[in-house]
Amino acid sequence: MANSLKEVLVSTAEEVLGRKRRIIQPWVTNEVLDLCDKRRELRKRKFGSNVAMNYQLANKAVRKKMKEAKEKWIDDQCVPIEKGMSSGKSKQAFSTLKMLTKTLQPKVNLIEDKDGRLLTDDEDIMQRWSEYCSDLYNYELQPDLSILSATRDLPETDIEIRG
């Protein structure tokens, strides 16, 4: 009974609210997502030459629309850059440009201690960083003093030293 209730609630919610589509890339439009849904349905029915041909056509359509949507999005992003550069608002223009060209670097919350074990707790990670930095800056230098005391035979030159 619980499963049937769940199915009724989920199906009613989908009908009334619709599914929320997760857009990972900012240039993906609803039109592209509709084509992706169509392609997904064709993929489920794998058998038959007609289905395979329709899947290939749907796949090409998705790729084409995705490429067009990305080009349009990039063109739309270039407008504020051009306006910012022409009006002297270079900070705004460069921030938009940086957003377009910079690759995202995920923050890593793991670090290894001296023994190679992974630390996940923030306090342990901070302690390890302070330990690592103190080891870096408190490194004892052991110079070879024999180099300083060794006399070198320098070639004689014709230059007179006047005092």
What is the per-residue pLDDT for 61?
95
Asked if residue 108 has pLDDT above 80, the reply is no
Cα–Cα dist 12/19, whole Å: 11
Asked if residue 80 has pLDDT above 60, the reply is yes
Q: Who has greater pLDDT, 63 or 96?
A: 63
Per-residue pLDDT of 118-158, as tens digits, reads 888 889 989 998 988 888 888 777 777 777 776 665 566 66
The mean pLDDT of 157-161, rounded to a whole number, is: 61
Q: Who has greater pLDDT, 76 or 153?
A: 76
Average pLDDT, the chain: 83
SS3 50: helix
Quick check: 129 and 111 in contact, CB under 8 A?
Answer: yes
Q: What is the DSSP secondary structure assignment for residue 19, as one 8-state letter?
A: P
Look at 63-72, 83-92, 101-110, 143-152 and tell me which has the smallest mean pLDDT: 143-152
What is the per-residue pLDDT for 66?
94
Task: Provide the whole-model pTM.
Answer: 0.52
- Residue corresponding to tokens 């749907």: 58
Cα–Cα dist 69/33, whole Å: 11
